[in-house]
Structure 1
Amino acid sequence: MAYIALYRKWRPKSFEDVVGQSHITETLQKAIDTDKVAHAYLFSGPRGTGKTSTAKIFARAMNCVHGPTSHPCNECEICRHILSGESMDVVEIDAASNRSIEDIRTLRETIKFMPAEGHKKIYIIDEVHMLTTEAFNALLKTLEEPPSHVIFILATTEPERIPMTILSRCQRYEFRRITSADIAARLMYVAEQEHIGLTKGAAHILAVQADGGMRDALSMLDQCVGNADGQIDESLVRDLLGLIGRDWLFSLSDAVFQGRGSVVIKAVDDVIRMGKEPQIILTELVEHLRAIMLYQADPHTDTLAAYADSLPQLAKQAGSVAAEQVFAVLNVLQQAMLTAKNSPAPRVAVEMGLLMASRPMPAAGAVSPVGPSAVIPDGILDRLLKLEQAVFHGGAIPGKGEPAKKKEYIPLPEEDGMPGVMDEESVLFPDDEYTAPPQEPAAPSIQESLPPKLADRDVVIEPERRQERPQPPAPAAAQPAAPSPSGASSVVPSAEYQRIWQQVCDILGKKLKKPGVQSCVRTGRVLYIGGGEAAVAYKTPFLVKRANREDYFRFVDEALEMVLGGSYHMKGFLEGSPDVAEYEKKNAESGITSRPAEEQPRPKEEAQPEAAASVSDEASRPQPPVSAEPPSLRPVLPEEMTAADRALLEPLLKTVGDCNIYIEDKP
């Protein structure tokens, strides 16, 4: 009799034999027992996880002479025909080679025939994602409403390539990768039944290399059986699979941790001379470092079963290196693995990664987030904490008896309009004694402002940002005297309101560069200035709300201080409110009545020498009254707006709310 490969001989024959997929097998068994079997299933998952085997077990369960049953006997004639692949009721289709629309049309013609010997006709379409778009479209109607005697089972490793119209018509089951422990246990069971000598360490290596697939693990075990004279141990498995020995891994990892680059290069040469691929070095070393990391976290974890014969050596190495260094080396080697995978010279990438990982790293340091190989030197984090407390909070520096003096910016004269910056050394060395130079009439030079140890370094200083406030302009000869700087609490005559407010608006627009604040407050009517406050009336609630915002009134207060020389605070009120009447009453009690800005008398202008020499007839004519608005803007009255203008502005007014509209007259 011909030899049968282990993965075929030990294919699962019942739901209980399927390893690592109990969440699927139990659900299918319950559906069979309760007679709630669907008409179409989709089995998806990695290779070698039991998709096709489960489909065949399901087919026997549905057609067994004792069933449908969740435990097929595998002994009746129907079960034996299905096991041998001779049953006409179970049709296996390889979609990779039968992917056209003609193949699906042929399938549609055959499904109308009744089962030959069983209860159901099962169609197993393997690698269904290989079907063409036209074939999927031809399968849609049949898959959604097949005959009552037909069940479809679709199997695929790439479910994302299947159209959603197909997925929505199937019950979907996701097969998981089988764990290394489950694969190793199954290998030991098969080896025992086949009378094969297999060590636990060798089984664990095979399970890890199988990457979650039971078929791959059995195939590698079959390969080892054909090349072994006796027992299958770790060394045999490593030689056959092209892996690196355990002793070599311990010596290479020691060389990396101790920073011995010459030993690292020699180890790489030895492995490549043995005919192994350069990437194998990084893969095996990363697995070994993972074992060290896991041993430091939990020495009794089952994951370390492969190190059962070398556990004392692993414990010694794990105790001689800090966990931070293991993490740093792992980060470097993982980056090197990605580089070597796509590099035209993988050996160079492997050697570079190993040499980078073997660079000296202080055990007490911390891995920097800027790169896997960058390490923050010991003590820098403490220095940064001291800097934060000393510079920004002014608290006591840890380890010092006296509270630290808070650092100050050093104002220095600017040259050629270039501002200075803060001293770099004062930030990097917060423990150095440093005091800001005293304020003298003459500004100190840069060298005199710094400690002696910084005198020969490049210094960047940030100047003190203070606004030089101009003195209030002297009143013209024909104008009434403005209040003195010390008279912030005195009442300003209402006749001066228009001139003062015009100067405030000019300062907001030209000096403070706040055109938005200027356009808001220029529409107000000054009610009262005195007692440290300036009351202004506005026509709409929107303008009142804007004027009373802090980011508006603080600039107006600053402009008032520039004009009047004292400290005043602007308050906005709505026209017609009781507050407006109260401030007008204050003016009435002082004997001065406040009038609107447009009614205030204009101050006399100084006569120009040219005008005094000759006065023309046009100059003698009466001039139009001066508007409180700037020459380039004029308010829009409601009666001036056309129906088209109203329709255009209506969406904007709904969003903005109550506001004033101005027209800009450009020359």
Structure 2
Amino acid sequence: MAYVALYRQWRPRNFDTLVGQQAVKTALTNALTSGRIAHAYLFAGPRGTGKTSTARILAKALNCEHGPTPVPCDACDNCKRIAEGTSMDVFEIDAASNRGIDEIKALRDQLAFTPVDCRYKVYIIDEVHMLTTEAFNALLKTLEEPPAHVIFILATTDPHKIPATIHSRCQRFDFRRVTVEEITAHLAMVAKGSGITADEEALRLIAVQSEGGMRDALSLLDQCGVMDKQVTAATVRQVLGIVGRDALRELVAAIGRKDAAVALAQLEQLLAQGKDPRQVLVELAEYLRALLLYQAVPGYNEVYLTDTEEQLHALAPFFGRDRLMAAEERLHAALQELKGTMRARITAELCLLDLCRMEGSTLASLLARVEQLERQLAQGVPAVAVPAVNVQPVAAQVAPQPKPAPPKPVIPQDKLYDGPDYFGPEEEDAPSADELSNLSAAPPAVQQPAVVSQPVAALKPKSAPIAHPAVASKPVAAPAPKAVANEKTVEEFGGDIAAGEDFWQQTLELVRSEKKMSMHSCAKAGRVCSFDNDVLTVAYKAAFIAGRMSKDDYRGYFEEILLRLARRPIRLQCIAESEVQKAAPKKAAVKAEPAAPAPSPVAESALPDNLRKAMNVLGGTITKV
């Protein structure tokens, strides 16, 4: 005779052998005893919790020759045929493969015929949520008013997918997951009756891994019984590929000590043993969840299914509650990422690094860092200070100091020149663009003349004019150290652009988490173009969005979030993209200034040598007032 799987051998035959589901058993037993039998039932619950088995027991109880009775005899012909699946009046239909309207119409046409041998015709439709909308509509009227000899039993794992019109025409019974204790006791009885030797720890581990499904537990016991004569916890771990307590303890301890090297080495060892990265992260999440519950409610017995109280007590001081919450969020994000990645190992390694360093942009990660600082301060350990990026004064960061210029000669009042006020020793030592900008910002040494001659641009149209305080109609004011961030034209990629982008992305994530969707929609359209002197500049293609972000309400809200992230005030400046692009051509024009032709020979002989050299370099002209 062919071997029969354990879950088929030990399928419950009456309500007494049904494991768990006490509420369902009581309700159905009372209905059979009182004769108040409904025409349609809906059994809903997770897989392997006894929905189909209960439907068969109910069919036997209704059609037993000594019934209807809550205790079928299992000896009459009707009970035997129903148990063997050969009854002409009990139909089991798989709605996953018979889900169309044609199948339901054929079923409806059969309802008019009376039962062959039994008292009732029972239709058990498994996975009923798989029926199409048209099939549900075809079943609707029949399900509402079926013939007196027909009873429907619908079973599903997804009751929310069933139309409300079907739902309201059935008596619903919810099947819960079987507890670990109930599964362990039933497995011990099955192992004894099947000649399988199994340790209590192994049976409990099987019960935990089955997640409340009795069919899964029996299938796993059947598989472990084939692996070894003595079923131990090691056998179960080998069959399931689970990590186990010992390896998890070492991994959690390394994360608690923030020892990334040991954590990665432990991960490497587990992967070398054939463990799946997803399984490692799942069990790690379960262990950290046990630690969190242990800290919150030490008397919660569910915690000790993961590990013993002594081991959890030893690992608890390494973690605070906020850090455990942040770790759970990071693990769940990694598990979601594993669904679409091709290299699961990379995702697991990056996740462990974040867990060891408590890094991340979520609110829980930030709270974990604050919690760590508070604990260090409470223990008298000074917090690690952030190293200073630049200790120079702000004025020194705005613009480099120019080289000291040589002393300027005294020029007669009647002979002024229209060139820059710089005198270099040789032509090849011409001043750079940065020095020219500083010279143009220096206070004038010569009084502004009352009459200004024809500008240089009119004489030399191919060369750009250079502003000079002695001849320009509007002298350029010296830039103040704090005023650089207020300038509308901003140099692109200025300052620490990487840190600025990191702050901005974290800010956007916090704004979205706080449900400020209108602010988030405006802010996410921009890009970080500069982060210098604690001023974060964000450029927008649309000028009106930049203007809206510059308003006090929006800008104040974002600056408050930046203060929470950076622990120091950071100013937000929002500008249009066109204002960012203006900076590059202006600077390039100064660098690309060609050497001007020789000055006018009329007054060249009257000038000093150093002034004549400056004219050769910068293209000055002579003006008489």
* TM category, shorter: 0.5 to 0.7
Answer whether contact 2:95 2:128 (CA < 8 A) is retained: yes
For 1:177-326, list aligned pairs within 5 A: 177-230=177-230, 232-297=231-296, 301-303=300-302, 306=305, 312-318=310-316, 322=320, 325-326=323-324
The 1-side partners of 2:248 and 2:50 are apart by 34
Query: Aligned ranges for residues 392-431 of structure 1 at < 5 Å?
Result: none
Q: 1:28 is matched with which residue?
A: 28
Which residue among 355, 359, 377 is the counterpart of 2:353?
A: 355
Cα distance in 1 between the residues matched to 2:195 and 2:20: 24
The CA deviation at 1:179 is: 2.8
Shift of 1:158: 2.1
1:157, CA displacement in angstroms?
1.7
Task: Give me the whole-angstrom Cα distance separating, in 2, the residues matched to 1:82 and 1:239.
Answer: 39
CA contact (8 A) 2:7 2:215 kept: yes
Residues 170 and 360 of structure 1: is their aligned pair in 2 closer, same or farther, counting only changes over 3 Å? closer
Is the counterpart of residue 138 in structure 1 residue 134 in structure 2? no
**Residue 375 of structure 1 corresponds to which residue in structure 2?**
370
The CA distance in 1 between the partners of 2:357 and 2:365, in whole Å, is 17
Whose Rg is larger?
Answer: 1
Gaps of 5+ in 2: 379-481, 487-531, 536-625
Distance in 2 separating the partners of 1:147 and 1:176: 31
Report SS of the residue matched to 1:20.
Answer: coil
How far apart are the structure 2 equivalents of 1:323 and 1:6?
Answer: 43
Higher relative CO (Cα under 8 Å, sequence separation at least 6) belongs to 2
The structural deviation recorded for 1:353 is 1.5
- The Cα of 1:371 is off from its aligned counterpart by 4.4
Q: What amino acid is the match of 2:315? A: Q
1:176 deviates by 2.0
- What's the TM-score once normalised by structure 2's chain length? 0.56
Q: How far did 1:226 drift?
A: 0.8
Partner in structure 1 of residue 3 of structure 2: 3
- Relative distance call for 1:323 and 1:369 in structure 2 (3 A) is closer
CA distances 1:273-308 after superposition (whole Å, capped 9, x unpaired): 222211111111222223333444555644355467
**Contact 2:278–2:335 (CA<8 Å) still a contact in 1?**
yes
Q: CA deviation at 1:239?
A: 0.9
Describe the SS at the equivalent of 1:358: helix
Tell me the amino acid that sits aligned with residue 356 of structure 2: S
Aligned counterparts, 1:49-68, within 5 A = 49-68=49-68
- Contact 2:33–2:70 (CA<8 Å) still a contact in 1? yes
Q: 1:104 to 1:340 in 2, by over 3 A?
A: closer
Amino acid at match of 1:228: D
Following TM superposition, by how much is the alpha carbon of 1:262 offset from its aligned partner in structure 2, in angstroms?
0.9
CA distance in 2, matches of 1:141, 1:265: 62
What's the counterpart of residue 175 of structure 2?
Answer: 175
8 Å CA contact 1:331, 1:372 repeated in 2? no
Mapped to 2, the partners of 1:220 and 1:279 lie a distance apart of 20
Q: Any conservation in 1 of the 2:358–2:369 contact (CA below 8 Å)?
A: no
SS in 1 for 2:122: strand
> Which residue type is aligned with residue 285 of structure 1?
L
Q: 1:31 to 1:43 in 2, by over 3 A?
A: same
Deviations 1:367-418 (A, max 9, x none): 95564754355359999xxxxxxxxxxxxxxxxxxxxxxxxxxxxxx999x9
Counterpart code for 1:283: V
Deviations along 1:330-366, whole A, 9 cap, x unmatched?
34333333333443432222111111111279xxxxx
Amino acid aligned to 1:333: L
Which structure 2 residues correspond to residues 91-170 of structure 1 after superposition, within 5 A? 91-170=91-170
Give the letter aligned to residue 86 of structure 1.
T
SS in 2 for 1:248: helix
The 3 A distance-change label for structure 1 pair 314 and 459 is: closer
RMSD: 3.2
Is contact 2:184-2:204 (8 Å) kept?
Answer: yes
Correspondence 1:478-627 to 2 at 5 A? none
Amino acid at match of 2:70: S
C-alpha separation in 1, matches of 2:75 and 2:18: 19
Structure 1 unaligned residues grouped into runs of 5+: 362-366, 384-413, 419-456, 461-667
Is 1:343 paired with 2:341? yes
- What CA distance in whole angstroms lies between the structure 1 residues aligned with 2:283 and 2:146? 51
With over 3 angstroms needed to count, the CA separation of the structure-2 counterparts of 1:167 and 1:295, relative to structure 1, is closer
> Post-superposition shift, 1:122?
0.6
Q: Deviations 1:233-261 (Å, cap 9, x if unpaired)?
A: 11111111011132211111111111111
Asked whether the equivalents of residues 245 and 306 of structure 2 are also in contact (C-alpha less than 8 Å), the reply is no
- SS of residue matched to 2:197: coil
Provide Cα deviations, 1:98-142, integer angstroms capped at 9, x if missing partner: 223222222222222222222111111112222223222222222
CA spacing shift, 1:160–1:322, aligned 2, 3 Å: closer
Structure 1 equivalent of residue 331 of structure 2: 333
Q: Cα 1:211–1:379, aligned 2, differ >3 Å: closer, same or farther?
A: closer
Contact 1:204 1:305 in 2 (8 A): no
Q: Relative to structure 1, is the Cα distance of residues 3 and 370 closer, same or farther in structure 2, using a 3 angstrom cutoff?
A: closer
Distance 1:92 1:207, change over 3 A: same
Structure 1 stretches of at least 4 aligned residues deviating more than 6 Å after TM superposition: 380-383, 457-460
Give the conservation status (yes or no) of the 8 Å contact 2:12–2:18: yes
Distance 1:318-1:181 versus aligned 2 partners, 3 A rule: farther
- Confirm or deny: 8 A CA contact 2:256 2:356 kept in the other structure: yes
